[in-house]
Structures are given as structure tokens and as C-alpha cells.
């Protein structure tokens, strides 16, 4: 029995890509959304697993990042805003990786240091980081996390199916393999592959 307010792993939830940074091809058969907090040690622990999954599934897997900076991680929101500022310059993933590699060093000075190392134009980075539009992006991600019952971090949605915490690779692979089978079935039935995720989301639950 699923606890009230928690997502049911057997259901599919609507987690749109929206503004979020993505890695992988747009028409991948499986979209894995990570709801994360840059200061969270468990999110950091999950990163090698995600990279292993990318190597394992190649063009069948797309990764999406959404932010859920937890209240007790005081540097998580500034880090999320820094990542979004880097996203404006096409440097999201470079900074994303540096933030997790150094997630105990996230002061304002550290964030500028990692942004520079990621290749950001620093004048633009400083200007963008303070923009209300970027703060709204982070707030929208937080609201979505609450809506779909992702209380803690990391939380993952594999084509809308929930996985909680820094799970082993095999736990992800089980769900991904099931979703690949479902994707192949739908594509064979006439669903265009480049609209597959959109179709899955239309039929998904909007929240817990």
C-alpha cells in the first residue's frame, strides 16, 4: 500500500520537460527526469549510476534535470540558480558536473569559480543569475516536485514512473527495460517516436 501523498511506482505521472536542461536525443524512447538538490549527498551518489545508464542505453535514454532545493540545504537554491544561469549559455551540464564534484563548496565565490571553470561568460552569468525568470523556473520545479509527491531528493521519473533515492543501476534498468518494451509496442502501433513522451504524459496522472 502506497503512503498518502506519495507517488505510486506502478502509476505514470505527468512530468513535462518544459524549460529544463536535457542530455540525449529529443526522441529517445525513455526519458529519465531527475529531481535533485546540488547540496544533497544522495544526489551526488546517484550521478555515477546515471552516467552508467547513459552509456548502457545510448540514444534510447534522455536525461532531464529539475530542481528541488531542500529548505535545510542553504546553498542548494543558489546552486540551482547558478546552474540555470549556465543553462542560458549552453553550459548547464558542465556546471552541473562541477557542482556535484564539489558539492561541499557552494559559497557564492565557489559558484562563480565553478561557473568560470565551466566556461561561462562571467558578466552574463552574474546578470542572469539574479533574473526573476530563472527564480521562477526553480520555483516551478519545486511546485512540480510537490505535485507529483517527490518530497525528498533525489527522485526519479522514468517515462513518468517513480523511483526514489540513489537506487542501484539494476533498479533503474528494470524500469527502463519495461519502458523500452512499452515504447516499442506503441511505436509499432503507430505512435511517432518523436511524440512518444508527449503521448505518455497526456495519459499520465497530474499528481498524487
Residue 178, in any domain of the structure: yes
Give me the tens of pLDDT residue by residue for the chain, a chain 208 residues long. 567 778 999 999 999 999 999 999 999 999 999 999 999 999 999 999 999 999 999 999 999 999 999 999 999 999 999 999 999 999 999 999 999 999 999 999 999 999 999 999 999 999 999 999 999 999 999 999 999 999 999 999 999 999 999 999 999 999 999 999 999 999 999 999 999 999 999 999 999 9
Examine residue 70 and state whether it is found in any structural domain, yes or no.
yes
If you search the block for the grid coordinates 512540480, which residue do you land on? Answer: 144
* Calpha distance 29→42 (Å, rounded): 27
**Segments forming the whole domain that contains residue 192:** 22-196
Longest dimension (CA), the chain: 53
Provide CB contacts within 8 A for 146, sequence distance 6+.
none
In a domain, 1, yes or no: no
Indicate the pTM of the whole model. Answer: 0.95
The H or E element containing residue 157 is strand 155-158
Q: Which residue in 49, 80, 75, 95 sits closest to 145, CA to CA? A: 80
Is residue 17 in a domain? no
Position 11 in a domain: no
- How many domains, the chain? 1
The per-residue pLDDT for 3 is: 72
In this predicted structure, what is the pLDDT of residue 5? 79
Contact 118, 82 (CB under 8 A): no
3-state secondary structure of 155: strand
Is residue 10 within 8 Å of 202, Cβ to Cβ? no
- Residue 149 confidence (pLDDT): 97
Tell me, yes or no, whether 52 lies in a domain: yes
Q: How is residue 187 written as a grid cell?
A: 511505436
Q: What CATH number does the domain containing 48 carry?
A: 3.40.30.10
In a domain, 134, yes or no: yes
In a domain, 208, yes or no: no
Amino acid at each position: 500500500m502506497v503512503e498518502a501523498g506519495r507517488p505510486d511506482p506502478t502509476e505514470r505521472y505527468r512530468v513535462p520537460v518544459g524549460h529544463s536542461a536535457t542530455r540525449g536525443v529529443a526522441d529517445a524512447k525513455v526519458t529519465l527526469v531527475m529531481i535533485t538538490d546540488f547540496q544533497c549527498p544522495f544526489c551526488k551518489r546517484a550521478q555515477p549510476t546515471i552516467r552508467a545508464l547513459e552509456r548502457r542505453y545510448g540514444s534510447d535514454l534522455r536525461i532531464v534535470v529539475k530542481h528541488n532545493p531542500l529548505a535545510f540545504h542553504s546553498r542548494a537554491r543558489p546552486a540551482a540558480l547558478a546552474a540555470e544561469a549556465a543553462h542560458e549559455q549552453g553550459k548547464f551540464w558542465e556546471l552541473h558536473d562541477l557542482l556535484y564534484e564539489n558539492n561541499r563548496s557552494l559559497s557564492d565565490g565557489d559558484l562563480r569559480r565553478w561557473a568560470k571553470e565551466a566556461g561561462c561568460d562571467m558578466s552574463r552569468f552574474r546578470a542572469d543569475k539574479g533574473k526573476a525568470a530563472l527564480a521562477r523556473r526553480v520555483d516551478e520545479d519545486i511546485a512540480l516536485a510537490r505535485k507529483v509527491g517527490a518530497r525528498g531528493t533525489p527522485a526519479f521519473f522514468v517515462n513518468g514512473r517513480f523511483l526514489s533515492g540513489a537506487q542501484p543501476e539494476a533498479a533503474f534498468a528494470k524500469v527502463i527495460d519495461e519502458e523500452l518494451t512499452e515504447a516499442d509496442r506503441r511505436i509499432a502501433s503507430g505512435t511517432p517516436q518523436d511524440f512518444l513522451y508527449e503521448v505518455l504524459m497526456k495519459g499520465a496522472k497530474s499528481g498524487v
